[in-house]
C-alpha cells in the first residue's frame, strides 16, 4: 500500500508534539520557532501530513498511532539575499547581491526515513521556489546544508560554493529542468 501524504501550510492545530526527526535542533525549531516565524513573516513552514482518507493504509503499515493531523515532515522557506561570492562559479556573473529563496529547514520523522519522504518534501520546496520566481525575481533555491545532508541535495543538482561546500545553490534553470521530469 502507498502511504499518501499532502503538504499543507503551517497550522497550529496540526500535531507537532510527537515529531522527532532525530535532530534536536530541527525538532526544537518546529516545536518552538516555526509558529513565531510564521506569525512574524520571517519564514513559511510547510508540513507533511497523511492525506485525508489514507489512515487505513498508514495503520496497515504498522503506523497505528498516526492520525490525520500528525506531522510527518516539514520544510521552511524564506526570501533571502546572498553575496555572489557565496554561490558556485556559475553564479559569479550575477550582481553582487543575489536574490534567492532560502530553504532554512527540511526534516522527516525518523520513523519514515528511507521511504522517499525527504525527496518528496524537497521536490515540493523546489516547486514552491519555482512559483515564487514567477512573481518576483529570484535566481534559485539556496540551502545551508548540514554536512551529512549535502550529498542528498547534490543528487538533485545543487551546486556547492567554492568557498564553502555546505552552501548549496540550485539555479532556476535547473529547477525548471527538474520539474519537467
Residue 113, CA distances (Å) to 20, 132, 141, 174, 176 in order: 11, 28, 23, 26, 27
Contact in structure between 140 and 125 (CB atoms under 8 Å):
no
pLDDT at 1: 46
Residues paired with 22 in a beta bridge: none
Q: Residue 115 corresponds to which cell in the numbers above?
A: 521511504
Contact in structure between 5 and 14 (CB atoms under 8 Å):
no
For the ranges 19-23, 77-81, 97-101, 177-181, the lowest mean pLDDT is seen at: 177-181
Nearest partner of 75 among 111, 126, 41, judged by Cα: 126
- Distance in angstroms (rounded) separating the CA atoms of residues 156 and 175: 9
Contact in structure between 61 and 132 (CB atoms under 8 Å):
no
Ordered structural domains, the chain, with CATH: 5-180 (3.40.630.30)
pTM for this one?
0.91
Neighbours of 72 (CB within 10 A): 25
Sign of CA dihedral 156, 6, 138, 98: negative
Beta pairing class for 5-9 and 140-144: unpaired
Position 32 confidence tier, pLDDT thresholds 50, 70, 90: very high
For the residues 50-77, what does the mean pLDDT come to?
81
Contact in structure between 37 and 9 (CB atoms under 8 Å):
no
Q: How large a percentage of the chain has pLDDT more than 70? A: 99
Amino acid at each position: 500500500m502507498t502511504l499518501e501524504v499532502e503538504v499543507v501550510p503551517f497550522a497550529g492545530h496540526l500535531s507537532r508534539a510527537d515529531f522527532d526527526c532525530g535532530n534536536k535542533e530541527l525538532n526544537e525549531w518546529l516545536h518552538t520557532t516555526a509558529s513565531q516565524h510564521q506569525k512574524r513573516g520571517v519564514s513559511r513552514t510547510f508540513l507533511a501530513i497523511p492525506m485525508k482518507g489514507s489512515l487505513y493504509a498508514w495503520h496497515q503499515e504498522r503506523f497505528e498511532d498516526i492520525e490525520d493531523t500528525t506531522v510527518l515532515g516539514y520544510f521552511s522557506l524564506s526570501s533571502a539575499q546572498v553575496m555572489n561570492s557565496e554561490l558556485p562559479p556559475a553564479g559569479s556573473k550575477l550582481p553582487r547581491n543575489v536574490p534567492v529563496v532560502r530553504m532554512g529547514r527540511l526534516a522527516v520523522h525518523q520513523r519514515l526515513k528511507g521511504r522517499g519522504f525527504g525527496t518528496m518534501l524537497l521536490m515540493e520546496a523546489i516547486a514552491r521556489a519555482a512559483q515564487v520566481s514567477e512573481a518576483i525575481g529570484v535566481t534559485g533555491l539556496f540551502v545551508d546544508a548540514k554536512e551529512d545532508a549535502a550529498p542528498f541535495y547534490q543528487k538533485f543538482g545543487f551546486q556547492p560554493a567554492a568557498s564553502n561546500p555546505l552552501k548549496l545553490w540550485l539555479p532556476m534553470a535547473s529547477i525548471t529542468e527538474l520539474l519537467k521530469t
